Amino acid sequence: EPEVTQTPSHQVTQMGQEVILRCVPISNHLYFYWYRQILGQKVEFLVSFYNNEISEKSEIFDDQFSVERPDGSNFTLKIRSTKLEDSAMYFCANSQGENTEAFFGQGTRLTVV
């Protein structure tokens, strides 16, 4: 089965620091997504990205967040100045089309201290 790989699996950062979460997508799967799950809460949609543009974003995805494909391959989520409430599991997902199956990575657990 196709696999989405996320790095790191766990990151601890100081409040106010910038973090970058990385995702290696599946070849030829051109739609990208980030979701997050705060401990004990639901998995929430953050953003979708296609053709080097954000196509949808949620209210959570404010100016502190950004996404890009810096090298045309990896897909990243940057949080500019982390807050305690950013602590969560962040999932990258990837699909071939807009309405085809999204494959999820194993997640990055971000802990802000």
Partner 1 sequence: AQSVTQPDIHITVSEGASLELRCNYSYGATPYLFWYVQSPGQGLQLLLKYFSGDTLVQGIKGFEAEFKRSQSSFNLRKPSVHWSDAAEYFCAVAPREYGNKLVFGAGTILRVKS
CB nearer to partner 1: give 11 or 16.
11
Q: How far is the CB of 81 from partner 1 (least distance, A)?
A: 26
Strand partners, 92: 34
Q: How far is the CB of 77 from partner 1 (least distance, A)?
A: 15
CB nearer to partner 1: give 36 or 87.
36
Helix (H) or strand (E) holding 111: strand 108-112
User: In sequence order, what DSSP letters do the residues of 41-82 get, joined into one string?
Assistant: S-EEEEEEEETTEEEEE-TT--TTEEEE-TTSS-EEEEESS-
CB nearer to partner 1: give 3 or 18.
3
Q: How far is the CB of 15 from partner 1 (least distance, A)?
A: 26
| CA gap 11, 110 in Å, rounded | 5
> Contact positions toward partner 1, by CB under 8 A?
4, 6, 31, 33, 35, 41-45, 48, 56, 91, 93, 95, 98-107
